[in-house]
């Protein structure tokens, strides 16, 4: 072993999420470069003198980084702007008008940086994003040191970065060419939905993604009104509409999937559609409860997502896990559904499967990328411990995360982010917020 560029994490509980579900009560993880090269009980750890850096994880819990399968990161700039509204009113009367006036490259860059800080602080190491000016999101994510799939937004009406919607896919293809996949970032296309994108646009976007072996990100059946609108326009449900168009013929990451009929479950399974479940956003917008327990029984891949900060209003996946576990118990009147272990897996290895990254991340295994978080476990609200999965879902919170490692690089140490200046980022976003607040009177915005 070459001593340089090696990190030894030792002394804490290691929750591997590997196929054997191994837990080492006092264990170690050895990192060489960007890869996990050793894992096990502390008695098997290499001597301290053979590694470059040692991280003492005593009283900590070592586990895979969390994976957020659906976000609109830059919307952190719009947190709290329009709350307590149904989705259609929220989008059409508040969000879309404000975006048209204020979303620009600086908005996306600073908003994504702010979102990234929040995600790092709450243990997220990888996320999937869909928004405008995604080249600026790429710039922000690169500097943050996170792993991400970044989808350039495609809609069939004027958007902040494509004023002529006839040019939406031209912009998308240019983005894909400009930012080819790297070790941490994968570019993609994000077609907002079947009700904001024409059939021809959806088909062309699918073809572009398939040509490059990239996933297509899209919202599907988020609300009952969406289903009614697609039925009125095309005579079929959103799922059947996309199926008929051939849009499901390829890698598809579908957010929400709340209003899916039982007869459509087989379509999702057959077409290997991967679902991003966003329970807090669905609850806040009163969209409904997705039939996730049914999806899981059928083997449909599901991961957790937070959605954007304007409809959640945070990026804390620990909070999302707690909600995901509880909302389905309530909806089904069955406390056994969505048990804690299942939910933790949705946020780690399940999220990796949804994003097509299972071979790289989502569990602590030899040969996988070193995306690792360490929680401060010796705390009153985490004492005593009978079940680690239970504590992660029902007791832990994002602020319990003390160390974050992505691709073998420490990007947060003892709650201090090492890649960006948090105060500077917050100051820049506050300036954006002030512009929006000053402009609301003369622009006639409703908030």
| CATH code where residue 391 lies | 2.30.40.10
> How high is the pLDDT of residue 320?
98
Dihedral (Cα; 199, 202, 205, 209), 10-degree rounding: -130
Asked if residue 13 is part of any domain, the answer here is yes
CB 407 within 8 A of CB 419: no
Is 277 inside any structural domain?
yes
What pLDDT, on a 0 to 100 scale, did the predictor assign at position 445?
62
* 207 belongs to a structural domain: yes
What is the CATH classification number for the domain harbouring 122?
Answer: 3.20.20.140
Residues 102, 17 within the same domain: no
Residue 86: per-residue pLDDT: 83
Asked whether 71 and 308 are in contact (CB, 8 A), the reply is yes
- Residue 17 domain flag: yes
CA–CA distance, 370 with 364 (Å, rounded to integer):
8
Q: What is the Rg, in whole angstroms, of the alpha carbon atoms belonging to the chain?
A: 21
Taking the alpha carbons at both ends of the chain, their separation in whole angstroms is 59
* Whether 333 and 375 share a structural domain: no
The answer on 303 and 409 residing in a single domain is no
- Measured CA to CA, the distance from residue 336 to residue 332 in angstroms comes to 10
Query: Do both 175 and 38 map to the same domain?
Result: no
Which pair of tokens denotes residue 339?
Answer: 């048990």
Residue 87 domain-assigned?
A: yes
- Please check whether residues 60 and 82 belong to one and the same domain: no
CA distance 302 to 284: 20
Q: Which domain holds residue 408?
A: 6-64+370-417
Are 29 and 164 in the same domain? no
pLDDT at 87: 80
Total domain count for the chain? 2
Last residue of a domain, one of 328, 354, 380: 354
Same domain, 247 and 341: yes
DSSP 173-227: HHHHHHS---SSEEEEEEE--TTTS-HHHHHHHHHHHHHTT-PEEEEES-SHHHH
Of 281, 242, 246, give the one whose Cα is nearest residue 260: 242
Question: Tens digit of pLDDT per residue, the chain (447 long)?
Answer: 667 799 999 999 999 999 999 999 999 999 999 999 999 999 999 999 999 999 999 999 999 999 999 999 999 999 998 888 888 888 888 888 999 999 999 999 999 999 999 999 999 999 999 999 999 999 999 999 999 999 999 999 999 999 999 999 999 999 999 988 899 999 999 999 999 999 999 999 999 999 999 999 999 999 999 999 999 999 999 999 999 999 999 999 999 999 999 999 999 999 999 999 999 999 999 999 999 999 999 999 999 999 999 889 999 999 999 999 999 999 999 999 999 999 999 999 999 999 999 999 999 999 999 999 999 999 999 999 999 999 999 999 999 999 999 999 999 999 999 999 999 999 999 999 999 988 765 655 665
pLDDT, position 441: 57
Is 291 in the same domain as 317? yes
pTM score of the predicted model: 0.97
Same domain for 147 and 56, yes or no, is no
- Statement to judge: residues 342 and 246 lie in one domain: yes
In a domain, 295, yes or no: yes
* Pair (154, 178) in one structural domain: yes
Note whether residue 439 is domain-resident: no
Asked if 149 and 137 sit in the same domain, the reply is yes
As given in the structure block, the two tokens for residue 59 are: 């009283």
Whether 246 is in a domain gets the answer yes
């Amino acid at each position: 072993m070459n001593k340089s560029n090696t990190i030894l994490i030792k002394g804490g509980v290691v929750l591997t999420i590997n196929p054997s579900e191994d837990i080492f009560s006092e264990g170690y993880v050895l990192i060489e470069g960007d890869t996990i090269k050793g894992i096990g009980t502390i008695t098997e750890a290499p001597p301290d003198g053979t590694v470059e850096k040692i991280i003492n994880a005593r009283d900590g819990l070592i586990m895979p980084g969390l994976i957020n399968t659906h976000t609109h990161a830059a919307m952190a700039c719009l947190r709290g702007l329009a709350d307590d509204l149904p989705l259609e009113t929220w989008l059409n009367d508040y969000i879309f008008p404000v975006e048209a006036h204020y979303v620009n490259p600086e908005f996306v860059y600073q908003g994504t940086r702010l979102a990234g800080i929040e995600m790092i602080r709450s243990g997220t190491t990888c996320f999937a994003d869909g928004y405008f000016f995604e080249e600026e999101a790429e710039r922000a994510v690169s500097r943050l040191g996170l792993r991400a799939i970044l989808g350039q937004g495609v809609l069939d009406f004027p958007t902040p970065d494509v004023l002529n919607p006839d040019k939406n896919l031209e912009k998308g293809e240019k983005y894909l060419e400009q930012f080819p996949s790297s070790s941490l970032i994968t570019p993609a296309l994000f077609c907002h939905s079947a009700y904001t994108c024409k059939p021809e646009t959806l088909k062309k976007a699918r073809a572009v993604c398939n040509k490059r072996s990239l996933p297509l990100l899209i919202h599907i059946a988020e609300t009952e009104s969406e289903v009614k609108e697609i039925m009125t326009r095309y005579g079929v449900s959103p799922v059947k509409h996309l199926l008929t168009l051939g849009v499901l013929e390829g890698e598809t990451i579908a957010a929400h999937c709340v209003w899916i009929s039982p007869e459509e479950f087989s379509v999702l399974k057959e077409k290997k559609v991967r679902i991003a479940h966003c329970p807090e956003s669905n609850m806040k917008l009163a969209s409904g409860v997705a039939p996730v327990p049914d999806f899981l029984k059928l083997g449909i891949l599901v991961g957790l997502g937070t959605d954007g900060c304007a409809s959640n209003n945070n990026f804390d996946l620990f909070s999302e896990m707690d909600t995901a576990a509880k909302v389905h118990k309530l909806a089904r009147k069955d406390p056994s559904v969505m048990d804690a272990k299942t939910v933790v897996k949705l946020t780690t290895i399940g999220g990796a499967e949804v994003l097509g990254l299972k071979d790289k991340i989502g569990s602590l295994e030899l040969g996988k990328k070193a995306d690792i978080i360490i929680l401060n476990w010796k705390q009153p609200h985490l004492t005593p411990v009978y079940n680690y999965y239970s504590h992660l879902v029902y007791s832990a919170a994002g602020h319990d995360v003390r160390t974050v490692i992505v691709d073998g690089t420490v990007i947060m140490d003892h709650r201090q982010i090492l890649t960006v200046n948090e105060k500077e980022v917050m100051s820049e976003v506050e300036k954006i917020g002030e512009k929006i607040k000053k402009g609301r009177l003369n622009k006639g915005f409703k908030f």
